[in-house]
Chains A and B, each alone.
Chain A
Amino acid sequence: MARFILRRLLLLLVTLFVTSMIVFALTQLLPGDVARLILGREAGEQALINLRAELGLNDPIPVQYIKWLSGFIVGDWGVAFGPGRPEILPLVAERLGNSLRLAFFALALSIPLGILLGLAAGLKPGGIIDGIVSIFSLSVVGLPEFVTGLVLINIFAIQLDILPASASTTEANLIEWIRRLLLPAITATLVLLGYIARMTRAGVIDEMRKPYVRMATLKGLPRRTIIFKHVLRNALLPTITIIAISFGWLIGGIVIIESVFSYNGIGRLIIDAVGRKDIPLLQAVVMVVVVFYALASLVADLLYAALNPRIRLE
């Protein structure tokens, strides 16, 4: 197992390294003169030259890349170009915290619910719950999250007026916090639930057909023991991968959801940074997202390997 983890970590580092080059290259290509973006249209020629030198914009690109990457690794992320030129690290940390809270809230809703629904559907294929699950997954396939989000706002915030339409909050009050996050979290949950339930359902159906289940039944084990101690354990293997992938999806999907609900998370920060051509901010945010994305898939692989010893031998 130790060797497997080591190899996987090494691969992760290589991938992250190449990705960092891609991110740097892409953001370097953003059109516009950085110095002029910061100083504005009326800036004098001398001021522009000074600022370029100060920012290291005259260095060759590879030197700039190495400076940027080493700065990123040691936590020296510099300042954003935007109004007030805020420090990037605390800004990103705050927004990331907001996004993670939303993501975990959504996962906390969708994982247990999805597994439960998938289990119920898989134990009785063709039953009522199975029908609900399949209609649900199909409708989720067709509806982009910005549509479900807007429909939820329309119902709960505008027509019924029981939940706020905007999720941005500085409230420390837990109840208010949950109220504000509920609609965006449900929007994400609606998408995730379909995937998780479908995966669990397929896993349960597969496992129930296996001989060991019949054996356990014939041995006289109670059905509850068979399902929860044996079937579910094996059936959840693919579900775990899907959950980790969902986490990756969530990081991307959250861009849309945060924009629908005006929630100050990392997704809106990316949109702002792209809009303002704020290169240092954009580089930092995208790298943070990439690192999280990579860690999610690493955790998925490790969990999968821990639960399924066959993988490790590959």
Chain B
Amino acid sequence: MTPLSFFNRLARLTITSGKQFAHDPLTLVGTLIVALFIFLAIFGPAIAPYDFAERAGPPRQAPTWAYPFGTDNLGRDVFSRVIWGTREIMGLSGLGTGISVAIGLCVGLVIGYFGGLLDEIISRAFDSLLGIPALVLALVLLGTLGPSNFSIIAVIVIIYVPIITRVIRSATLNVRDSGYIEAAKLRGESILYILFREILPSVLPALAVEAALRFSYAIFLTASLGFLGLGVQPPSPDWGRMIGESRNFMRLLPWMMAFPAAAIALLVIGINLFADGLRKILRYEGQDV
């Protein structure tokens, strides 16, 4: 495949999937939700009326036009905090997922393609790592690294790399012995060419769907750690931590919990709808191309 035809195909794929996305209402909704949150993550600080740590008005204010999500026990604007929190959670989960996908893809391609002892060792080691429930592993890691943004990303990477590697490895195994790989080998193509030009396109659907799902789990994980008080440190606005802090005010200030919770739910459901759509489209493309 020449680079030109690769880009041609990529362009065609983008256009046809764009059309399909628009045709499937649920997928469209999911895509719009994800787009909205990406927008908030980037431009949130410009949109939010107040700073996340600032005392914006009287404390314990129920939602009004001035404070659409109310104010918390310290008088901070919940609306602004939810918006600022978008950047926090999307950034940490997104970066963590992105790094995991990059590492998992490379390791998975290599061990899937070469197999042998290296594959055996890495697969066993990763299986053993997966033998520790994700949240428990996260707690131990955070205890070791201490709570910081870097630790949260490291936790996501350590938990997800084995999972993504496993998915990519098995997708690679499926095509490893195909004729076109054999042909590339006989043409004397380099290993890098075979891994990234020949094998990568066929594992791309699995990778895309997996990445989307991992992203939604990463959001859960980050929020759960925040809830336990081990994630993003105050005064940074973390949705999970906001919910955790609202426990003592549940009866009198229900909006303190309701809005961050709704934000998590909306974002995660959006990502899941998007991932479902991606799965449908890519499977279709997989058969067509």
Residues 125-159 (chain B) with a chain A CB within 8 angstroms: 125, 127-129, 131-136, 139-144, 146
B228 close to A15 (CB less than 8 A): no
Residues in A whose Cβ lies below 8 Å from that of B220: 144
For B37-66 the 0/1 string (1 means CB < 8 A from A) is 000000000000000000000000000000
Whether the pair A289, B224 counts as a contact (CB closer than 8 A) is: no
Any chain B CB within 8 A of the CB of A168? Answer: no
The residue that B228 contacts in the complex, of A251, A252, A256, A294, with Cβ under 8 A, is A256
**Contact call B257/A271, Cβ cutoff below 8 A:** no
* One of B135, B261, B265 near A252 (C-beta < 8 A): B135
| B268 CB contacts on chain A under 8 angstroms | 141-142
Q: Is the CB of A158 within 8 A of B265?
A: no
Return the contact of A289 from the options B136, B250, B251, B257 (Cβ within 8 A): B136
- The 15 listed contacts between A and B (C-beta, < 8 Å) are A15-B131, A19-B128, A19-B131, A22-B132, A26-B140, A27-B140, A27-B144, A29-B144, A138-B269, A139-B265, A141-B268, A144-B223, A146-B243, A256-B227, A274-B139
For residue B184, CB closer than 8 A to chain A, the reply is: no
Say how far B241's CB is from chain A's closest CB, in angstroms. 11
The CA-CA distance from A286 to B138 in the complex, in Å, is: 12
Which residues does A use to contact B, with CB under 8 Å?
Answer: 14-16, 18-19, 21-23, 26-27, 29-31, 138-139, 141-144, 146-147, 150, 153-154, 158-159, 248-249, 251-253, 255-256, 259, 270-271, 274-275, 277, 282, 286, 289-290, 293-294
Given A138-B269, A146-B243, A252:B131 Cβ within 8 A: no
Contact: A146 with B227, CB < 8 Å? yes
Q: Is B106 an interface residue (CB 8 A)?
A: no
For the complex, is B247 an interface residue (Cβ under 8 Å from A)? yes
Say whether B135 contacts A253, CB under 8 Å.
yes
Which residues from B are CB-within-8-Å of A256? 135, 224, 227-228
Chain B residue numbers with a CB within 8 Å of A290 are: 131-132
The reply to whether B133 and A293 form a contact with Cβ atoms under 8 Å apart is yes
* Residues on the A chain within 8 Å of B203, using CB: none
Does the CB pair B254–A154 fall under 8 Å?
A: yes
Contact A15 B143 (CB under 8 A): no
In the complex, per-residue mask of B241-276: 1 if CB is within 8 Å of any chain A CB, else 0: 001101100110010010001001110110010000
Say yes or no: A142 contacts B228, CB within 8 Å. Answer: no
B124 within 8 A of A: yes
What's the nearest-Cβ distance from chain B to residue A61, in Å?
15
B180 shortest CB reach to chain A, Å: 28
> Given A146-B243, A147-B264, A150-B247: A255 and B132 within 8 A (CB)?
no
| Pair A141/B269 contact, Cβ less than 8 Å | yes
User: Would you give the shortest CB distance from A249 to chain B, in whole angstroms?
Assistant: 8
How many Å lie between the Cα of A270 and that of B129 in the bound state? 18
Would you give the shortest CB distance from B141 to chain A, in whole angstroms? 7
B254 touches A15 (CB 8 A): no
Contact partners of B125 in chain A: CB under 8 A: 18
Task: Report the nearest B residue to A14, measured CB to CB.
Answer: B124
How many of chain B's residues have a CB under 8 angstroms from any CB in A? 40
Of listed B243, B246, B247, B251, residue having the most chain A CB within 10 A: B247
State whether A282 touches B128 (Cβ < 8 A): no
- A143 to B254 Cα, complex, angstroms: 16
Q: Are the C-beta atoms of A271 and B269 separated by less than 8 Å?
A: no
CB distance from A40 to the nearest CB of B (A): 20
Min C-beta distance of A157 to chain B, whole Å: 9
A294 to B220, CA, bound (A): 24
Q: Are A252 and B272 in contact (CB under 8 A)?
A: no
Q: Which of B228, B266, B268 has the most CB of A within 10 A?
A: B228
**A142 touching B254, Cβ below 8 Å:** no
| CB of A258, distance to nearest CB on chain B (Å) | 11
Once bound together, how far apart are the Cα atoms of A255 and B265, in whole Å? 20
A22 to B131, CA, bound (A): 10
Instruction: State A293–B131 Cα separation when bound (angstroms).
Output: 7
Would you call B224 and A146 a contact (CB within 8 A)?
yes
Contact at A289–B132, with CB atoms within 8 Å? yes
Tell which of B125, B135, B230 has the most Cβ of chain A within 10 Å: B135
**With A144-B227, A259-B228 given, is the CB distance from A252 to B124 under 8 Å?**
no
- With a cutoff of 8 Å between Cβ atoms, the chain A residues found around residue B144 in the complex are 26-27, 29-31
Residue numbers in B under 8 Å from A139 (CB-CB): 265, 269
The CA of A290 and the CA of B131, in the complex, are separated in Å by 6
In Å, the complex CA distance between A169 and B266 comes to: 36
Partner of A141, one of B134, B136, B251, B272: B272
Bound together, the chains give a CA A81 to CA B141 distance in angstroms of 19
B129 CB contacts on chain A under 8 angstroms: 19, 22
A residues near B131, Cβ cutoff 8 Å: 15-16, 19, 290, 293-294
